[in-house]
C-alpha cells in the first residue's frame, strides 16, 4: 500500500489515541498515510509470459502509464502473436489485448513481456503505475477495518487508527563488479542501534540498482534531489522521531547476501511475513539479544588494518532461524545456511572491502556537512555523530563511548534544552497562525460589505472558537502537551539551500 511518498505524524503517547490495542507500549507513536493512489512498479518477472499474472491484468486494462516498454507495431506484434507456444503462456487478459491489437493492425501496443530495446538489449528498468490494491479491491480493506473495530470494541463514530509498530528498512546489496565495489556484507536481517543506524541513513549507501548504471550514496534519507530544504533538517526531524518512538532499526537484504548468493527481493518480501507472526515482545531488540537471536559484529584486524565491522550492528543467528523462521519453513536452516548468516564465509576479502566501502562512504558524506557548514544546524546527537563519521571521534570519544550512546536515548532527549526549544518554537508558530485567523475574522466582520454572508457562514461563532483556541495555545498546558511530539525545527520551512 506504500511507495515513495507518505505523510506521517508523531503523537506523544497512546493516551492521545483512544481505542488502541492494550499492549502496554509507552513510547510515542507514529501514524502514516499514503499520498499516492498509484505505485511505481518495476515488474521484472513479467518478462516471462504468464508468470506475473497481476502485472498482465493491470497492463491489459485502460488508463495505464508505462515507461521503457517496447511499442509493438503490427510487424513486431505478429512475431509475438503467431508464436503459438509462447503466446499461449500469456494470461487471457494479455492475450486479448495483443490479439485485438493484431487484428486491428493500427498503431502500437505494449506487451508486459517486452521491455524497450536499448542498443538491441531489453531494458532492465521497465516501469508502470499500478493502482493500489486497497483502491481496486476496497472490500478486503473494509473487512480488515471492521475486524479491528470488533476486536478493539471501537464505536463506528470513532476513528480507527493503525499506528506503526515496526520499521523494516531494506538494503540493496551487490557483489564486486568492474568499477563497483562490493556491498554484500549483510545477512538477511540486521539490527542497528541509533548511532549506527543513522550513520547508514546519513550516507544512504546503495548497491547497484537494476534501474541505474552505478551505485553509491543517494544523500540524506535518499530524497535529497527532491527536497528544497537542506538534508540536515530531515535528519534532525527523523532522529527526534526515532528517539521518541523507540522503534528498533531492523533492515533486510535485497540483491545479494555475500558475493555468491543472489536473493533479489525474496528476503525483503519474507520479513513482513515473519514479523507479522511475532508478538510485540519478540520483536524487541533486547528480547532478541537476551535469547541469542542476534549476535554483534565487532571490529577486527585484517592484514594489519582495522575493519570496522561494528558499523553493521547485530545480525540474526542460527538460533533465530530455528526458533522463529519455523513459523514459515519446515526446515528453515536448509534455506538460511551458515554462508548466508555469515557472509564473510563466502569470501573474506570481499567482506572486508564491503565494510571498508561503507565506512569510507560514511566518512566522505559526513565531511560534506562539515565543509558546507550545515553541521552547525544539527541537533547535539547528530552533531557528535557527524564528527565521529568524518574524523573518527567527537571530543575524544568514539561511537562506542557511553556518553555518546546516552545522547541517543529518550531520557536525554526529553531533558535536553534543544528539544525544549523545538516545543517552544512549535507553540510560537501555532500562536502566530491562530492570531492571523482571529485577525482575519475580525477584519472581515468589521467590513460592512460582507454582512450578507456573516450569518450564513456563522462567522461570529467561528471567531469565538478561534479566540478560545488562541487562549488554549497561549497557556503552559499546551506546551506540556507537546512533550513527545516532534515540535518544530528551528530552521523552519523558510530556510532553503542557496547557491
Lowest mean pLDDT among 23-27, 122-126, 148-152, 396-400: 23-27
Q: Are the C-beta atoms of residues 308 and 359 closer than 8 Å to each other?
A: yes
Q: Which tens digits make up the pLDDT trace of 39-54?
A: 888 898 899 999 999 9
Whole-angstrom distance, CA of residue 114 vs CA of residue 21: 48
The DSSP letter of residue 132 is P
Per-residue HEC secondary structure of 150-165 comes to HHHCCCCCCCCCCCCC
Amino acid 497: pLDDT: 40
Per-residue model confidence as pLDDT tens digits over 134-150:
888 899 999 999 999 99
Q: Looking at residue 406, what DSSP letter applies?
A: H
**Using CA atoms, how far apart are residues 178 and 131, in angstroms rounded to an integer?**
38
d(CA 340, CA 358): 20
* Phi, psi (degrees; rounded to nearest 5) at 347: -165, 105
pLDDT for the residue 271: 86
For residue 245, is pLDDT > 60? yes
Q: Report the run of H or E that residue 424 belongs to, with start and end.
A: helix 417-446
Instruction: Provide the mean pLDDT of the chain.
Output: 89
CA nearest to 409, candidates 245, 273, 276, 282? 245
- 92-104 vs 74-81: helix crossing angle, rounded to 10: 140
* DSSP-H helix ranges across 277-409: 285-290, 318-324, 332-335, 338-341, 348-371, 380-391, 402-406
Residue 449's pLDDT is: 79
**Would you place residue 80 in the very low, low, confident or very high pLDDT band (cuts 50, 70, 90)?**
very high
**Calpha distance 146→420 (Å, rounded):** 40
Q: According to the model, what pLDDT value does residue 210 have?
A: 57
Tell me how crowded residue 318 is: count the other CB atoms within 10 A of its CB.
17
- Give the residue with greater pLDDT, 93 vs 24: 93
Which residue would you say has higher pLDDT here, 361 or 211?
A: 361
Residue 20: CB atoms within 10 A of its CB come to 17
Q: Are 325 and 274 in contact (CB under 8 A)?
A: yes
∠ at Cα 96 (91, 98), nearest 5°? 95
Cα 356 to the center of its chain, rounded Å: 25
CA atoms of 26 and 46, how far apart (whole Å): 45
Q: Please, how many CA atoms are within 13 Å of residue 106, restricted to the half-sphere of its CB?
A: 1
Which pLDDT value is given to residue 207?
76
Backbone angles phi, psi at 191, to 5 degrees: -120, 135
| pLDDT value for 498 | 37
pLDDT value for 380: 97
Q: pLDDT per residue over 407-461, tens digit each? A: 999 999 999 999 999 999 999 999 999 999 999 999 999 887 778 888 888 999 9
pTM of structure: 0.87
Percent of the chain whose pLDDT exceeds 70: 93
pLDDT digits (tens, 9 = 90+) for 99-158: 999 999 888 999 999 999 999 899 988 999 999 888 888 999 999 999 999 999 999 999
Please name every residue paired with 389 in a beta bridge, in sequence order, or none if there are none: none
**CA distance readout (Å), 277 to 191, 272, 281, 283:** 18, 9, 12, 10
Contact 378, 230 (CB under 8 A): no
Over residues 147-189, the pLDDT tens digits come to 999 999 999 999 898 888 888 888 889 999 888 899 999 999 9
| Number of residues assigned to the chain | 499
State the helix-helix crossing angle for 417-446 and 459-474, rounded to 10 degrees.
160
Helix (H, G, I), strand (E, B) or coil at 78: helix
Pairwise CA distance, residues 440 & 218, whole Å: 44
**Residue 92 confidence (pLDDT):** 96
Amino acid at each position: 500500500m506504500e511507495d515513495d511518498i507518505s505523510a506521517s505524524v508523531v503523537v506523544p503517547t497512546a493516551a492521545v489515541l483512544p481505542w488502541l490495542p492494550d499492549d502496554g507500549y509507552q513510547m510515542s507513536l507514529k501514524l502514516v498515510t499514503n499520498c499516492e493512489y498509484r505505485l511505481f512498479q518495476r515488474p521484472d518477472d513479467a518478462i516471462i509470459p504468464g508468470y506475473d499474472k497481476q502485472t498482465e491484468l493491470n497492463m491489459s486494462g485502460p488508463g495505464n502509464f508505462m515507461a521503457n516498454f517496447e511499442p509493438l507495431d503490427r510487424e513486431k506484434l505478429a512475431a509475438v502473436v503467431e508464436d503459438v507456444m509462447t503466446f499461449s503462456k500469456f494470461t487471457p487478459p494479455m492475450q486479448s489485448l495483443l490479439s485485438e491489437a493484431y487484428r486491428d493492425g493500427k498503431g502500437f501496443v505494449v506487451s508486459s513481456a517486452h521491455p524497450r530495446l536499448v542498443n538491441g538489449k531489453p531494458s532492465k528498468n521497465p516501469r508502470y503505475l499500478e493502482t493500489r490494491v486497497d483502491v481496486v479491491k476496497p472490500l478486503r480493506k473494509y473487512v480488515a477495518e471492521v475486524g479491528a473495530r470488533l476486536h478493539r470494541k471501537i464505536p463506528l463514530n470513532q476513528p480507527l487508527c493503525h499506528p506503526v509498530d515496526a520499521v523494516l528498512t531494506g538494503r540493496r546489496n551487490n557483489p564486486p563488479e568492474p568499477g563497483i565495489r562490493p556491498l554484500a556484507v549483510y545477512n538477511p536481517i540486521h539490527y542497528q542501534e541509533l548511532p549506527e543506524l543513522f550513520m547508514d541513513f546519513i550516507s544512504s549507501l546503495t548497491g547497484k540498482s537494476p534501474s541505474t548504471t552505478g551505485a553509491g550514496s543517494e544523500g540524506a534519507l535518499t530524497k535529497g534531489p527532491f527536497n528544497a530544504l537542506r538534508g540536515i533538517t530531515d535528519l534532525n526531524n527523523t532522529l527526534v522521531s526515532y528517539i521518541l518512538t523507540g522503534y528498533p532499526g531492523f533492515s533486510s537484504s535485497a540483491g545479494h547476501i555475500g558475493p555468491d548468493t543472489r536473493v533479489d527481493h525474496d528476503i525483503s518480501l519474507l520479513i513482513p511475513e515473519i514479523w507479522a507472526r511475532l508478538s510485540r515482545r519478540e520483536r524487541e531488540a533486547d528480547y532478541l539479544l537476551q535469547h541469542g537471536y542476534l549476535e554483534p559484529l565487532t571490529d577486527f584486524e585484517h592484514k594489519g588494518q582495522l575493519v570496522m565491522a561494528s558499523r553493521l550492528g547485530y545480525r540474526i543467528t542460527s538460533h533465530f532461524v530455528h526458533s522463529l523462521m519455523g513459523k514459515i519453513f519446515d526446515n528453515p536452516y536448509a534455506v538460511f545456511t551458515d554462508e548466508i548468516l555469515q557472509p564473510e564465509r563466502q569470501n573474506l576479502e570481499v567482506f572486508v572491502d564491503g565494510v571498508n566501502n561503507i565506512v569510507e562512504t560514511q566518512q566522505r558524506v559526513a565531511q560534506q556537512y562539515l565543509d558546507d557548514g550545515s553541521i552547525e544546524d544539527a541537533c547535539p546527537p547528530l552533531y557528535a555523530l557527524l564528527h565521529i563519521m568524518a574524523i573518527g571521534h567527537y571530543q575524544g570519544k568514539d561511537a562506542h563511548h557511553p556518553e555518546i550512546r546516552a545522547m541517543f536515548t529518550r531520557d536525554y532527549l526529553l531533558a535536553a534544552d534543544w528539544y525544549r526549544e523545538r516545543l517552544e518554537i512549535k507553540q510560537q508558530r501555532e500562536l502566530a497562525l491562530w492570531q492571523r485567523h482571529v485577525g482575519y475574522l475580525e477584519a472581515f466582520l468589521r467590513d460592512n460589505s460582507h454582512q450578507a454572508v456573516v450569518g450564513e457562514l456563522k462567522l461570529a461563532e467561528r471567531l469565538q472558537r478561534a479566540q478560545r483556541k488562541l487562549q488554549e495555545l497561549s497557556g503552559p498546558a499546551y506546551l506540556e502537551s507537546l512533550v513527545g511530539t516532534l515540535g518544530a525545527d528551528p530552521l523552519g520551512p523558510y530556510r532553503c539551500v542557496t547557491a
